[in-house]
Structure 1
Amino acid sequence: MEAEVKYKLMDVLACPICKNFPLKLKVFSEKEVERMIEGNKPLCELYCSFKDVAVKSLENAPCEECIRKEIVEGIIVCEKCGRWYPIVDEIPRMLPDGLRKKNDDIKFLREHEKYLSEDVKTKGLPFNLSQ
C-alpha cells in the first residue's frame, strides 16, 4: 500500500514533543486522486487543515474537494514550541529531535526556503538556516 498524506490527517496530529494541537500545514506540492466520500461530512472532527479553520466554524465543509488531494511535499509546524516536521515523498517525518539528521533537515530547508516562514528559517527547531 502506498503512503498517502491527506489534509484530514491534520485533524488527529499533535506535536510529539509538546502535544500542541492543531499543527499548521504548509503544502509545497500535492496531487489529485480519484476518491469519493463514503459516509457523512464533515470528515474531520475538530480542525479542517484544508481551510485552516476549526470545523465548527465551517458553514459548508469542502470535503469533496479535500478528499481528492494528497500532499506530496510540505511542512508541518508547531506554533507553540517552534518545531517543524518535513513531508517528503508523501510521508510526514515526525521524529523526536534526537533521531533527526541535521544535514537532511538543513537540505530540506534550503530546497524549500521560498515556501517557509521567517520563524521556521531563523528559529525553527531542532534545526534552522541561521545555525
Structure 2
Amino acid sequence: MKKDLMDILACPVCKGNLILNVVEENEEEVISGTLYCPVCKEHYPIDEGIPNLLPPDLRN
C-alpha cells in the first residue's frame, strides 16, 4: 500500500480518519501493518501490501 493513499482512505464504518501502523515496509510501500480507526476502535489489516477495509463483521 502506498502511504499517499492515507489522504483518501477512510474508515468503512464511520468514514473517520485512519491511523497507519507500519510493521514492514520497503522504499516504495507498506508491506504489512494495520489501519486503525480511533472512533470505532477497529483495526484493519494490511497484508502483502493490500489493505483489507471490509467491515469487521464481513471479514473471515
Aligned length, in residue pairs: 60
User: What is the TM-score of this pair, normalised by structure 1?
Assistant: 0.44
CA RMSD of aligned residues (A): 0.9
1:11 is aligned to 2:7: yes
Q: CA deviation at 1:8?
A: 0.3
* Structure showing the higher strand proportion among its residues: 2
Distance 1:95 1:26 in 2: 17
C-alpha separation in 1, matches of 2:19 and 2:57: 22
The whole-number CA distance in structure 2 between the counterparts of 1:10 and 1:79 is 15
Looking at structure 2, the residues matched to 24 and 97 of structure 1 have their Cα atoms a distance apart, in angstroms, of: 17
Matched, 1:24 2:25: no
Whether 1:88 aligns to 2:51 is no
TM-score (norm 2): 0.92
- Looking at CA atoms only, which structure, 1 or 2, has the larger radius of gyration? 1
Distance in structure 1 (CA, Å) of the matches to 2:3 and 2:46: 12
Matched to 2:9, the amino acid is L
Query: Equivalents in 1 of 2:22, 2:40: separation in Å?
Result: 20
2:56 to 97, 101, 112: 97
Q: Deviations over 1:36-74 (max 9, x none)?
A: xxxxxxxxxxxxxxxxxxxxxxxxxxxxxxxxx300001
Higher helix share: 1
